[in-house]
Amino acid sequence: MLLHGSCRCQAVKFEITGPIHRFTNCHCPDCRKINGAAFSSNLVVAAAGFKITAGEEMLADYESSPGKFRRFCQTCGAHVYAHINSRPEIVIVRAGLLDDEPGVRPQNHIWVSHKAPWFEITDSLPQFPEAFKG
């Protein structure tokens, strides 16, 4: 599999060459605030299968919680991906930045104990009060 993605202004581009381990909709307060939306659709992929192909110098880090860094395009502000120091084998990529069809659909909702009170989950995907365990 080869997937391409980019930020809104196209300054940052990336490739995913490995499998997608999980496609999840996260309702945690950080994802909601950072994305300005009810939830964030995220792809969990192997760090070894993720590569910035253009614009690495355009990325800025934000430590949203201890040891969790979110990387943003400095020009358009798009949240490209996150990495967690305690989980160096994975990166969490924002699915909305894909330029290609991933071939998979969201598998669950996580952190629903913190979902926006004005948003109702109406699909039949599994829901987890906190992080996915599995």
Q: Cα–Cα distance between 132 and 134 in angstroms, integer?
A: 6
Tokens of 39: 């939830």
pLDDT band at 131 (very low <50, low <70, confident <90, very high): confident
Overall average pLDDT of the 29-41 stretch: 93
Helix (H) or strand (E) holding 23: strand 20-26
User: Do the beta carbons of residue 27 and residue 116 sit within 8 Å?
Assistant: yes
pLDDT digits (tens, 9 = 90+) for 64-106: 889 999 999 999 999 999 999 999 999 999 999 999 999 999 9
Overall average pLDDT of the 110-130 stretch: 96
Q: What is the pLDDT of residue 132?
A: 73
Overall average pLDDT of the 26-36 stretch: 92
Q: Cα–Cα distance between 28 and 71 in angstroms, integer?
A: 17
User: Do the beta carbons of residue 83 and residue 74 sit within 8 Å?
Assistant: no
3-114 to CATH, choices 2.170.150.70, 3.30.830.10, 3.40.50.2300, 3.90.650.10: 2.170.150.70
Q: What is the pLDDT of residue 134?
A: 60
